[in-house]
Amino acid sequence: MSHPTDHELDAFLGRGLSGAALVELDGHLAGCGPCRARLESRARVETSSAWLRREIEQAPRREHLSDEAVRALAEGRPAAVAGEHVRNCAMCRSEVEDLRAFITAQASARLPRTRWYALAAALLVAAFLPFGWRLWQKPALPPEYRAILEQATRSGRLEIPQEIAALHRKPELLLGAPEKPAAFGLRQPLGEAVPGGQPVFVWESLSGASAYTVSVYDEQFRKVMESPELSGTEWRPDQALTAGHIYSWTVTAQVNGDRVRVPVPPAPEAKFAVLSASEAGRLAEARRRYPEQHLLLASLFARVGVVSEARKELAADGSELARRLESSLP
């Protein structure tokens, strides 16, 4: 897809997209750094505005003395209730004292009414201090996510589902056939799950190749999708594969009139699985809500077998724990 508009990013943040659109946009954000930066910037602005509005609305409102009461106290006239207030309010007490000093120097002068500006400034500071502190805090994690993160931290490992681990097969041993190195390699998706039905297929270039063709097969090795002839080394299909299914894929290169296909035995098949819509939506929502919780996101991706995205999140974290967790992935 093309780069999302600001309106689409706002809809993503506000949960205003359909499930399919959410998954598609999340897939784009996973591979587009500039768009992720735009999303995080808009998320911070949206969150900051909401917090500031809430803090101002909830700020305690305290009644202060009227100008008449301040003047009465400054001139020494009795004002019992006002006097009690002044003893407990430093702002009003200061105004009374200032006005009293001014009256002494110039009895006919009136004090400019600047206290409302001071009050507004004080309220703004009172509202901003807790807001500023919260701005630096990450959103609190629900108990389920805290438990997942704590488990990864304690064990120092990220586990992937057995059915995804089974997609990693060793090369076959063919009797009497010498093992030959592959002409070129496939990069992704390999032995993992993908969060959407339109994954980006990536492979290495082959010297002298004029075109490449990608073929996708179901578990019965029936061809379900094929690309046109491509000059580059990546392809994203226009149609979606079925969620919850396992597929394999090959790339055929045209070199000087010959066709070179990979993988071929004894190399294992290049297999991958497509996540269910519910799992993909859950991951997209977690990434939207906790974009800076890289260890958590890596754990969530690994738990459903999206290994490449787990590696990206661990690389973004960059900690020693992240490096240890990365080494546990297949």
List the chain domain ranges.
Answer: 67-133, 142-174+181-330
pLDDT tens digits, 294-305: 999 999 999 999
- How many C-beta atoms surround the C-beta of residue 21 within 10 A? 15
pLDDT at 169 over 70: no
pLDDT tens digits, 20-41: 677 677 777 777 878 888 877 7
pLDDT tens digits, 184-239: 999 999 999 999 999 999 999 999 999 999 999 999 999 999 999 999 999 999 99
Confidence (pLDDT) at 53: 54
Let me know if domain 142-174+181-330 sits in CATH 2.60.40.10. Answer: yes
Confidence (pLDDT) at 1: 65
Confidence (pLDDT) at 65: 73
pLDDT tens digits, 263-285: 988 889 999 999 999 999 999 99
pLDDT at 248 over 80: yes
Confidence (pLDDT) at 273: 97
pLDDT tens digits, 44-78: 655 545 544 554 455 444 567 777 777 777 777 76
Averaged pLDDT score across all residues of the chain: 81
Confidence (pLDDT) at 106: 62
Give the mean model confidence (pLDDT) for residues 118-131. 49
pTM of the shown model: 0.58
Q: How far is CA 77 from CA 82, 83, 95, in A?
A: 11, 10, 15
The two tokens of residue 243 are 């969620």
**Higher-scoring residue by pLDDT: 241, 99:** 241
Confidence (pLDDT) at 41: 76
Confidence (pLDDT) at 61: 47
pLDDT tens digits, 2-23: 788 888 877 877 767 766 677 6
Residue with tokens 């000093």: 101
Please, which residues have CB within 8 angstroms of residue 237's CB and are 6 or more apart in sequence?
A: 198, 216, 225, 227
CB 163 within 8 A of CB 244: no
Confidence (pLDDT) at 129: 47
pLDDT tens digits, 172-182: 554 455 455 67
pLDDT at 165 over 70: yes
The two tokens of residue 27 are 């897939």
Q: DSSP readout, 129-188?
A: HHHHHHHTSPPPPPHHHHHHHHHHHHH------HHHHTT--PPP--TT------SS-EEE
Task: Look up residue 234 and give its DSSP letter.
Answer: E
